[in-house]
Amino acid sequence: KAEVPMYFNYGITKKVLGSRRTMKSGFVSPVAKDSMNSSPHHTQSPPLNSTPEDIDERLKNIDSKMVDLIKNEIMHKYKNMDWDDIAGLEYVKSIIKEAVVYPLLRPDIFTGLRRPPRGILLFGPPGTGKTLIGKCIASQSQSTFFSISSSALTSKWVGEGEKMVRALFAVAAVYQPSVVFIDEVDSLLSKRSESEHDSSRKLKNEFLVQLDGAATNDEDRVLIVGATNRPQELDDAARRRFARRLYIPLPEISARKQILKNLLGTVCNDLDESNIQEVGNQTKGYSGADMDILCREASMEPLRSIPPDQIPHIVKDNVRPVNIDDFMSALQSVRPSVSKDDLAQYIEWNKEYGAFR
Ligand code: ADP
């Protein structure tokens, strides 16, 4: 299409995440480099030549207080993130790049059959990087990141959740390309219960409408990323609407070692490669978040050997480095948070409903 798409004609300063404009290695470009670089979507800022009335078009029926609240509390400032900041999950990362990141960057190529899904679901045990992935998608696709938990929608804005969802997606469309991350999406879209209130039914319906994309322009670039630790509680209609459902498992040993090395980079320590391997071996079943807690616990050990009355005066360089023994004692108190039974349930659900396409 030669003309500038409609959705760029908003009289606001377009807020985008990310400054990098290069395609990541590993992605086989479907077009020659030259034509990629000349794309208006990819390399140039959209023209901002419209009048303020244009802004009102999308937000005109939306309570301005809600718009402000969304901008202040749900819309996030740009934070540069790279896929390497997420340990392991190589397969998941490659699927996500192809299915959603490149389409957000190159909407002109990913049309028709290549059209990206409106929503993807990330499911798996808590603390495995689902939120990190949401942030990374936004950063890598130079999108505005919106993040909200279902409990905030259902409890903080009691009775107003439905209006809030509508406002959220209206703002997301104005600031597109956008990634809307919904944590604990199961509690928003759970199987209907007898006692369901009218307001929560309306909230759920509004969200389903947004997932369908029915309330939006075909050209809109707004991706919904739902995250859940309880995929089995999702209602059938909701599950179907997340066209791609990706299992985010516990980290393998190589990923655990990488998380360990990254975290140890922030504190003085004398662990060598064989020590890292040892801790990696002993942390089977630990989530990324468990690894974080373990490292924090181990890093406190050197301080515990200092008498409390000396801590205010001690010279920083006199605090001994964290060592393997500190990790061995931390391993006694920090245990994996995910049970074998829970894991089996995720694997089962993945077999039945996990889908990449
Ligand atoms: P989830 O959303 O799956 O519950 P998060 O993405 O919030 O989990 O991860 C919680 C914390 O655990 C992160 O801030 C990070 O410190 C650590 N973590 C989890 N998974 C990973 C990973 N794959 N690579 C690096 N750090 C991770």
Mutate to test the pocket of ligand 1, among 91, 96, 132, 145 (most ligand atoms within 8 A of CB): 132
**What digits encode the pLDDT tens for the residues 222-277?**
999 999 999 999 988 889 889 899 999 999 999 999 999 999 999 999 999 999 99
Q: Which residue's CA lies nearest to atom 5 of ligand 1? A: 129
Question: DSSP letters along 224-260, please?
Answer: EEEEES-GGGB-HHHHHH-SEEEE--PPPHHHHHHHH
Distance between Cα 135 and ligand 1 center (Å)? 11
* pLDDT score of 10: 30
Distance CA 23, CA 102 (A): 8
Please state, rounded to an integer, the average pLDDT across all residues of the chain: 81
Q: Which residue's CA lies nearest to atom 19 of ligand 1? A: 288
Q: How much is the average pLDDT of 51-57?
A: 52
* pLDDT score of 193: 56
**What digits encode the pLDDT tens for the residues 285-296?**
999 999 999 999
**What digits encode the pLDDT tens for the residues 159-212?**
788 888 889 999 999 998 999 999 999 888 777 655 567 777 888 888 888 888
* pLDDT score of 345: 95
Distance between Cα 23 and ligand 1 center (Å)? 25
Distance between Cα 268 and ligand 1 center (Å)? 23
Residue with tokens 């999308």: 58
Residues 6+ apart with CB under 8 A from 107: 5, 41, 219, 221
Q: Which residues line ligand 1 (CB under 6 A)?
A: 86-89, 126-132, 227, 251, 255, 259, 288-289, 292
Q: How much is the average pLDDT of 88-99?
A: 93
* pLDDT score of 195: 55
Q: How much is the average pLDDT of 5-30?
A: 34
- Please determine, for residue 112, whether its predicted confidence score (pLDDT) is greater than 60: yes
Tokens representing residue 71 in the block: 């901008």
Distance between Cα 261 and ligand 1 center (Å)? 15
Of residues 73 and 31, the one with the higher pLDDT is 73
- What pTM was estimated for this model as a whole? 0.81
Other CB atoms within 10 Å distance of the CB of residue 108: 13
